[in-house]
């Protein structure tokens, strides 16, 4: 069982980063409205902001025992104003971790290939960057000891709000069917840890969220 631990703001004693961009973040507003509000907040970040947050995010994530103990980590390449993952990918690879990166399939499911360095990434559809190595099949994600998930928000219950494409819903369903139990970790900015997001029956809680300010853990 994974312990429930929160990072805290030393000045307030509160969990680091939660906010309610819609004051409060009202689940009845619907996922589309919440996504727009969160993407608008990201749009205000400068390039310097993104670089600074990416370095801090990598530092915090590398402290996670779930990543230290995993021989294989399923991750992704950040694009645009997403919380930056590239420094983290390189650090994991330098540690000898087998890093799997997604390849988007025509039906929005994900295939996977091993990360072999930034020079082995290629531009793909929807502005994505994908590994150019051998495709290992959608089921290989079951070999991961930890899965790093993109998202727009996580709430106080560990429920994640994604972009709505459904790709990671399929990944999570595949892990559940297989009976595997990797650590599910979302990488976000601190202001994206919120009170509550809408959920649907197929949604799964994550185990932890990492922000540049720290780590917050949820139920196992």
Q: Is the pLDDT of residue 199 over 90?
A: no
Decide if pLDDT at 136 tops 90. Answer: yes
- Average pLDDT on 135-153 reads 97
More confident residue, 199 or 104: 104
pLDDT in tens, 18-76: 333 333 445 556 788 889 999 999 999 999 999 999 999 999 999 999 998 999 999 99
Share of the chain above pLDDT 70, in %: 86
Q: Give yes or no for residue 96 having a pLDDT over 50.
A: yes
Q: What is the DSSP secondary-structure string of the chain?
A: -----B-B-TTT-SBSS---TTSS--GGG-HHHHHHHHHHHHHT--HHHHHHHHHHHHHHHHT-HHHHT-SEEE-----TTSPP-HHHHHHHHHTT-EEEEEEE-TTS-EEEEE---GGGEEE-GGG-EEE-S----GGGGGG-SEEEE--SEEETT-BEE--S--HHHHHHHHHHHHT--PEEEEE--GGGEES-----TT--B-SEEEETTEEEE---
């Amino acid at each position: 069982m994974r312990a429930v631990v929160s990072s805290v703001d030393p000045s307030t004693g509160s969990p680091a980063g939660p906010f309610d961009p819609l004051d409060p973040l009202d689940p009845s507003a619907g996922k589309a409205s919440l996504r727009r509000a969160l993407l608008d907040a990201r749009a205000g970040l400068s390039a310097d902001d993104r670089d600074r947050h990416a370095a801090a995010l990598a530092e915090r994530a590398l402290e996670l025992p779930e990543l230290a103990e995993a021989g294989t980590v399923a991750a992704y390449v950040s694009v645009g104003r997403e919380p930056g993952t590239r420094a983290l990918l390189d650090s994991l690879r330098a540690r000898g971790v087998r890093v799997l990166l997604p390849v988007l399939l025509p039906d929005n499911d994900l295939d996977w290939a091993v990360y072999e360095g930034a020079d082995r990434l290629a531009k793909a559809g929807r502005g994505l960057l994908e590994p150019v190595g051998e495709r290992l099949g959608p089921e290989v994600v079951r070999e991961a000891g930890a899965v790093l998930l993109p998202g727009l928000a996580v709430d106080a219950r560990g429920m994640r709000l994604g972009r709505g494409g459904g790709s990671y819903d399929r990944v999570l369903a595949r892990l559940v069917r297989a009976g595997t139990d990797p650590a599910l970790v979302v990488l976000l900015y601190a202001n994206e840890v919120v009170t509550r997001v809408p959920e649907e029956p197929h949604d799964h809680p994550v185990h932890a969220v990492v922000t540049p300010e720290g780590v917050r853990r949820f139920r196992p």
